[in-house]
Structure 1
Amino acid sequence: MTGQPSFPRQYARTQRFTLGAPRSYALSPDGARVVFLRSPSGTDRRQHLWVLDLEQGREFTAADPEALLAGAEEQLPPQERARRERSRESSAGIVGYATDSAVELAAFPLSGRLFVSELRAGTTRELPVQGPVVDPRPSPDGRQVAFVADGRLRVVAVDSTTTSDAGDADPAAAGQADRVLAEPDGPEVTWGLAEFIAAEEMGRYRGFWWSPDSDAVLAARVDEAPVQRWWISDPAHPDQEPARIAYPAAGTRNAEVTLALFGLDGSRTDVVWDTERYPYLARVHWSAAGPPLLLVQARDQRDQRYLTVDTTTGATRTVHDDEDAAWVEPFPGVPAWTPDGRLVRIADEGGARKLFVGARPLTGAPLHVRAVLDIGEDDVLFSASGADMHDIGVYRAWFRGSGDQGGWERVGERPYPTVSSAVRGGALTVLSQTSLEWPGTRAEVVRLDPDGGEKTLATIGSCAEEPVLTARPRLVRAGEREIPCAVLLPAGYTDDDGPLPVLMDPYGGPHGQRVVASHHAHLTSQWFADQGFAVIVADGRGTPGRSPAWEKAMFRDVAGVALDDQIHALHALAGSFPLDLSRVAIRGWSFGGYLAGLAALRRPDVFHAAVVGAPVSDLRLYDTHYQERYLGHPDEEPAVYAANSLVTDEGLSGAVEPHRPLLLVHGLADDNVVVAHALRLSAALLAAGRPHEMLPLTGVTHMASQEQVAENLLLLQVDFLKRSLGMPA
């Protein structure tokens, strides 16, 4: 009989306890079915497609990837692998799918092949098409499936045979039933895919959209010819050629993105807008409630426009525009139309982030709106945080008809904070909630009443493992700035144990809220605490959830604001918790790694050791959309980049005595924060005579999701921190 695994091993093999948990829901408008993904166990990476039949009260598997591949190993095409890296997807099998409007048919890729599932019957079959297939999506009527293969946008009839269409000029498609809708007109051109910037920074992971009538497809043309080329090599395999990637670093040229409308009858209509002034295509929405709706942004991101598309001519018209002295933000789920044709958007106004329908705000303080989840006949379903940033709820706001016209209410409200999200279809909603009160995620199928309130109809089971430890964070606000913090002490700690060495464990930057009312979000911090630390997670200014001013406080001063708030929180908490301020370490990854490097180099009077994971150390090496939003264009703001970078002369001049132990960790295969960041930082430290350690991760990307790597990375960090702070091994 074997004992329980250690937390690092369990955390790694369960992929942070996400395996076995249901996710990615679709609900049929007739209220009969809930479709979702779930792997068979808490350690199985292969996601299956499931159907919950509410009328019969049973769950069944619609698609099993192992059966569909007859036990063969899954082979990922390069474009699919890139899509998963951008979306931080590390599981296997059926990791995503799309359905028709009736949720009768689902389409998904597997090993570059195209499969469709008839969801009522639970049967799945392969469609004979030219591959490798990326991002297949059924038409709303369920009769066609569009997909991308080798940069071409293709379409196939669901009832197709293996007879090739007469109009398909591609000889490689002989014996296939699909045909090309959009053919690349250059070696660096693709149709129907999201470019790197859209997927990595804008949250737009798709590149084509079906018309509501299923007779046309609106597709993005991406030309990467203007983008500089970088090379990602694997030094552990010198016999292999480096990978060539298009990476738009700050101040350099982006990919050129345009749109065209392709009719299934062979017609093409190019969409026209001022791409010179508004080069970023942030969002596309097309529903039966109105014409196609685009959100485009200026390069400096201080201006964005909402455009409608004339599908006959391709001409666009501005229906709204947003401007901001710092930056404008694209939000999930918007822009969109209400059923009666009013514009739904999220915007900053009067110090609050509000939900608008037309010109009318439906919300106000204290709600801080985060995303639109669904738009009904009378209401909008959205997520928001309130006075407490860590409590993220699902809300309804009514814009006409029944209910509290103009008011809002929380869905699934409990007597304690949660982190909630929802997917709605017809009369049904799947409400997913995490809390500090229980481990994992609870998913309930509910029916929302027209006038408010809801009724639970079913619960979707989870196969996820329960952690071998329990997180016990205390969520507090620190200091006069009221910085949200989670403080974690070792299990069994008593006051007689005295002050503890401190480990700051932040992300601390944009889009990276860590202090949330979710048990699993604090598991790693609790494990570090159980090694003998008082762990502090602080969400300073720049992190999301409180107000526009809170998020935009780091405009042009990312380093100063982020670092100052960590110190402010640390000192403010010292009066209430057993903190030994003579032994303070900090660890972080990505922006958190950058912040850890800042802490050890610029404030060694406060911080005594740092684990610097995948840091963005030379800010000119990171991408355009992210870096220029906060710091401006490097040619126009060179002093800002120098002051905020770790490796420039001015940036390193902020490094003061004494030297503090530094552990640099970076994946050599990282194509987001490339390893050049860590190597340049190491070289600059060496030139300055500053000792440090370097841990290269062979074959690891920005996710570091390999089981052995994830497990041992935790153990090595603890060993380094204890050595550096003089703690017993």
Structure 2
Amino acid sequence: MKKFLLTLAVAAISQGLSAQEITLDKIYSGYYRGKGIAGIASMKNGENYLVIEQGGIAKYAYKTSQKEGNIVDGRFESYEFSDDESKIMLLKESQPIYRHSFLGKFHIKDLKSGKVISLNEGKFVQEPRFSPDGTKVAFIADNNLFYQNLDSGKITQITNDGKKNAVLNGLADWVYEEEFGHARLYDWTKNSNALVFVRSEESEVPEIYIPIYGKMLYPGEMRYKYPKAGEKNSVVSAHIYLLDSNNKTRINLDRFKKYYIPNVIQTAKADEIVLITSERIQNASDVLKVNTKTGDVKKLFTETDDKWVDTDNVTLEFMDDNSFLWSSERDGNRHLYWYNQDGKLKKQVTKGSWEVTDYYGFNPKSKEIYVQTTEKGSINKVISKINIENGKAQLISNGDGNNAANFSKNYNYFIETSSTASKPYTFVLKDGNGKVVKELQNNNDQLQKLKADNFIDKEFITIPNEAGDQMNAWIMKPKNFDKNKKYPLFMFQYSGPGSQQVSNSWDNGNALWFNHLVQKGYIVACVDGRGTGYKGTKFKKVTYMNLGKYEIEDQIAAAKWLGNQSYIDKSRIGMFGWSFGGYMTSLAMTKGADVFKAGIAVAPVTNWRYYDSVYTERFLRTPQENPDGYDKNSPTEYASLLKGKFLLIHGTADDNVHFQNSMEFSEALIQNKKQFEFMAYPDKNHGIYGGQTRPQLYQKMTDFILENL
């Protein structure tokens, strides 16, 4: 269950927007909408960058930041170059499937000849990818893998056994996509002579079905394979397809961990692919190098952990000499390690009581890597360049806030995207040493509108828990705050493993709603307790085998600490959360019933037995191995303890956290004669949006808070 960001829907600007107050009407009208720059990417020469504009894919010069025209004209959702930039693949139309996957119609334009070719004859495909030599594009259609020759237009079908809810070739199934974070499970070799792909046999995986109501006389139905904790997963295998011989062979992985194959990665060598594999318990991952000419497999090394390896957050980057960088938490923080091409450790590249949170690239001329880190504090993310040989580091971004970068191919420039909790996004062009060249875009107008309506900044503090940790927190107080007055407290959290809600970054989503509540006289606070990320593995992984136990203890401890502050009315403390946060709110209103007066749980997991195998077993093992870890932290086990006012919300078509969770919890509450409010959103998924859904949802939650807290 990946961190779920609650983005706000927008519509046309409404008339008569009230002044001096952040209202729900203003939030959902788009009145506070910010500006961004879409599709930033460097060209190969390192001197130009591209962005998606309304009229096409625009080309700009780094040195002058001036526009030099369009590469192509028209409206596109995304684009991708071939390695030599002679061709560009353009997404013209898309249809979402799950969180990452979508069906798309793609055109490929030859930028030299001007010739345009439709991929797969203009029909929908998934996960297209240029061959490194730019002469072909591989893609998936109907769960089968194909490639198309861009000169002749000829389409070659590589697999034939793909079938919905049965077999996938080169494509992740639902749980792989959701928990390993990507839908593509194939890659080209560097010489474009072979494709390596994962085949997933999911016919034995239990099937979930979801009623679809719509306006039909009889409800429709959505069916897909969903392996719940302890149940059967897809049986996966890896295969090599050689283009010259049209020959497919299965890669023999019998000597290695092979229950999951979440990653297929191209190396810098002509006839190689790396597979990352693991057993079901996910506490060890094999990094395997496959020779695609011979089929031979060599284990480079095994990454191990006494709890779990973050198989959904892998950095594996190859350099020109085929040495590579690998991310690991083995020293207690996420850092980068440098290996030679045979898997022998050369050195640990980064080190300290901070973490590497993103990797941007390696400059072979300066021997420097470019990374995003938490070295300026766990609530901040900054950008540094680090010499891979001598360890010399230089900060090249702002020193606080949340900073990300798009680098030029020669690393002479980068576009920094920055924000803080009090300043919305800016886009600044900088040189390779972090010197400002030009501000490209700011959101001063957005901030001025918010300040005119009495926008409240977050105040960052720390709160102790019973284990002696200082937990990161933020708090928002009314503008006319009086320390001698007692205020009701509304707490928000997510709390899932490795997540972060207390971040010095701009929030275009719930922060606006929280401002609305603060203006109604509430204090709003958020606390990242044990299990959350960016404070080292000890803090993050203490929840292993007991998911939910320490997290709710910390939220209760934080509520009590806040309730003891002179300005908080401890008899009026409420909580809100979505997904994992909804699970925590459900526990707060039962296990923490003496502390919390009111709670809103949206799309909550209410029993980890109902959630998917990859995520849940990573932290709890299977229900067969660890039944107490599942049952003793389930809100349904504590339904008899509910005391306060409780609002339970769920979308009926939630493919991630199934509606079943809220039905099960509702039944437990009913059988314990507990009164509560329930809202079901017809045919809405985990995000609960579309049309007027979000405005209605947030009005309902606001009314509930005003009436009950």
Normalised by the length of structure 1, the TM-score is 0.84
The 8 Å contact of residues 62 and 117 in structure 1, kept in 2 or not, is answered as no
Match of 1:28 in 2: 43
Question: 1:136-168 CA distances to partner (integer Å, 9 max, x unpaired)?
Answer: 22222322222111112222233445xxx4xxx
**1:256 aligned onto 2:256:** no
- What is the CA-CA distance between 1:302 and the residue it aligns to? 1.1
Match of 1:8 in 2: 24
SS of match in other structure, 1:349: coil
> Take 1:565 and 1:669, find their aligned partners in 2: how far apart are those partners?
32
Match of 1:321 in 2: 302
> Take 1:31 and 1:336, find their aligned partners in 2: how far apart are those partners?
20
1:695 pairs, out of 669, 679, 688, with 679
> Take 2:83 and 2:31, find their aligned partners in 1: how far apart are those partners?
32
Match of 2:434 in 1: 454
After TM superposition, the structure 1 = structure 2 runs for residues 84-103 of structure 1, keeping only pairs within 5 Å, are 94=77, 96-103=78-85
1:607 pairs, out of 584, 596, 607, with 596
**1:138 aligned onto 2:116:** no
Check 1:51–1:337 CA distance in 2 against 1; reply closer, same or farther (3 A cut): same
Letter in 2 for 1:2: Q
Letter in 2 for 1:691: Q
> Take 2:255 and 2:80, find their aligned partners in 1: how far apart are those partners?
30
Check 1:350–1:179 CA distance in 2 against 1; reply closer, same or farther (3 A cut): closer
> Take 1:205 and 1:275, find their aligned partners in 2: how far apart are those partners?
26
> Take 1:645 and 1:240, find their aligned partners in 2: how far apart are those partners?
31
Match of 1:175 in 2: none
Check 1:398–1:287 CA distance in 2 against 1; reply closer, same or farther (3 A cut): same
1:58 pairs, out of 52, 67, 83, with 67
- What is the CA-CA distance between 1:437 and the residue it aligns to? 4.3
> Take 1:63 and 1:338, find their aligned partners in 2: how far apart are those partners?
31
> Take 1:97 and 1:464, find their aligned partners in 2: how far apart are those partners?
29
Question: 1:64-85 CA distances to partner (integer Å, 9 max, x unpaired)?
Answer: 7xx66xxxxxxxxxxxxxxxxx
**1:704 aligned onto 2:692:** no
> Take 2:243 and 2:29, find their aligned partners in 1: how far apart are those partners?
46
> Take 1:190 and 1:475, find their aligned partners in 2: how far apart are those partners?
47
SS of match in other structure, 2:334: strand
Question: 1:202-245 CA distances to partner (integer Å, 9 max, x unpaired)?
Answer: 12332221222223222222222121111011245452420111
> Take 1:699 and 1:399, find their aligned partners in 2: how far apart are those partners?
51
Letter in 2 for 1:106: I
Question: 1:222-278 CA distances to partner (integer Å, 9 max, x unpaired)?
Answer: 222121111011245452420111101110111122222223322323323249843
SS of match in other structure, 1:182: coil
The 8 Å contact of residues 547 and 629 in structure 2, kept in 1 or not, is answered as no
**1:183 aligned onto 2:160:** yes
> Take 1:257 and 1:471, find their aligned partners in 2: how far apart are those partners?
51
**Gaps spanning 5+ residues in structure 2: where?**
1-13, 95-103, 340-344
The 8 Å contact of residues 332 and 371 in structure 1, kept in 2 or not, is answered as no
**1:631 aligned onto 2:617:** no
Total equivalences in the alignment: 659
Match of 2:651 in 1: 667
Match of 1:243 in 2: 222
1:515 pairs, out of 486, 497, 502, with 502
**1:282 aligned onto 2:252:** no
Match of 2:5 in 1: none
Check 1:463–1:700 CA distance in 2 against 1; reply closer, same or farther (3 A cut): farther
Letter in 1 for 2:487: L
- What is the CA-CA distance between 1:422 and the residue it aligns to? 4.1
The 8 Å contact of residues 331 and 371 in structure 1, kept in 2 or not, is answered as no
Match of 2:373 in 1: 384
2:461 pairs, out of 476, 479, 483, with 476
The 8 Å contact of residues 138 and 146 in structure 1, kept in 2 or not, is answered as yes
The 8 Å contact of residues 587 and 610 in structure 1, kept in 2 or not, is answered as yes
Letter in 2 for 1:708: Q
The 8 Å contact of residues 99 and 106 in structure 1, kept in 2 or not, is answered as yes
Match of 1:107 in 2: 89
**1:529 aligned onto 2:518:** yes
Check 1:300–1:11 CA distance in 2 against 1; reply closer, same or farther (3 A cut): farther
Letter in 2 for 1:99: F
Question: 1:556-585 CA distances to partner (integer Å, 9 max, x unpaired)?
Answer: 222221111112223334455722111001
Match of 1:547 in 2: 536
> Take 1:202 and 1:418, find their aligned partners in 2: how far apart are those partners?
24
The 8 Å contact of residues 315 and 359 in structure 2, kept in 1 or not, is answered as yes
**1:722 aligned onto 2:706:** yes
1:303 pairs, out of 277, 284, 291, with 284
The 8 Å contact of residues 556 and 592 in structure 2, kept in 1 or not, is answered as no
The 8 Å contact of residues 151 and 189 in structure 1, kept in 2 or not, is answered as yes
The 8 Å contact of residues 295 and 335 in structure 1, kept in 2 or not, is answered as no
After TM superposition, the structure 1 = structure 2 runs for residues 321-400 of structure 1, keeping only pairs within 5 Å, are 321-330=302-311, 332=313, 334-358=315-339, 359=345, 360-377=347-364, 378-386=367-375, 388-400=377-389
Match of 2:633 in 1: 644
SS of match in other structure, 1:29: coil
> Take 2:477 and 2:250, find their aligned partners in 1: how far apart are those partners?
60
Which deviates further from its counterpart, 225-234 or 23-32?
A: 23-32
- What is the CA-CA distance between 1:532 and the residue it aligns to? 1.9
SS of match in other structure, 1:292: strand
Check 1:712–1:138 CA distance in 2 against 1; reply closer, same or farther (3 A cut): same
> Take 2:285 and 2:578, find their aligned partners in 1: how far apart are those partners?
31
Q: Percentage identity across aligned positions?
A: 23
> Take 1:36 and 1:182, find their aligned partners in 2: how far apart are those partners?
36
Check 1:371–1:190 CA distance in 2 against 1; reply closer, same or farther (3 A cut): same
2:141 pairs, out of 133, 149, 164, with 149
**1:490 aligned onto 2:471:** no
> Take 1:124 and 1:499, find their aligned partners in 2: how far apart are those partners?
67
Letter in 2 for 1:157: N
Letter in 2 for 1:8: L
- What is the CA-CA distance between 1:104 and the residue it aligns to? 4.6
The 8 Å contact of residues 386 and 393 in structure 2, kept in 1 or not, is answered as yes
Letter in 2 for 1:179: T
SS of match in other structure, 2:635: coil
- What is the CA-CA distance between 1:608 and the residue it aligns to? 0.6
Letter in 2 for 1:144: K
Check 1:633–1:24 CA distance in 2 against 1; reply closer, same or farther (3 A cut): farther
The 8 Å contact of residues 27 and 426 in structure 1, kept in 2 or not, is answered as no
**Gaps spanning 5+ residues in structure 1: where?**
41-47, 69-92, 166-177
1:195 pairs, out of 152, 173, 177, with 173
The 8 Å contact of residues 611 and 663 in structure 1, kept in 2 or not, is answered as yes
SS of match in other structure, 2:175: helix
Letter in 1 for 2:201: D
After TM superposition, the structure 1 = structure 2 runs for residues 406-425 of structure 1, keeping only pairs within 5 Å, are 406-414=391-399, 416-423=400-407, 425=409
After TM superposition, the structure 1 = structure 2 runs for residues 577-592 of structure 1, keeping only pairs within 5 Å, are 578-592=567-581
- What is the CA-CA distance between 1:121 and the residue it aligns to? 10
The 8 Å contact of residues 26 and 425 in structure 1, kept in 2 or not, is answered as no
Normalised by the length of structure 2, the TM-score is 0.86
> Take 2:512 and 2:653, find their aligned partners in 1: how far apart are those partners?
27
Which deviates further from its counterpart, 330-339 or 479-488?
A: 330-339
SS of match in other structure, 1:713: helix
SS of match in other structure, 1:633: coil
The 8 Å contact of residues 554 and 561 in structure 1, kept in 2 or not, is answered as yes
SS of match in other structure, 1:199: helix
The 8 Å contact of residues 559 and 573 in structure 2, kept in 1 or not, is answered as no
Check 1:563–1:399 CA distance in 2 against 1; reply closer, same or farther (3 A cut): same
The 8 Å contact of residues 130 and 149 in structure 1, kept in 2 or not, is answered as no
Check 1:457–1:134 CA distance in 2 against 1; reply closer, same or farther (3 A cut): farther
> Take 2:313 and 2:143, find their aligned partners in 1: how far apart are those partners?
26
SS of match in other structure, 1:630: helix
> Take 1:464 and 1:217, find their aligned partners in 2: how far apart are those partners?
48
The 8 Å contact of residues 532 and 540 in structure 2, kept in 1 or not, is answered as yes
> Take 1:489 and 1:49, find their aligned partners in 2: how far apart are those partners?
44
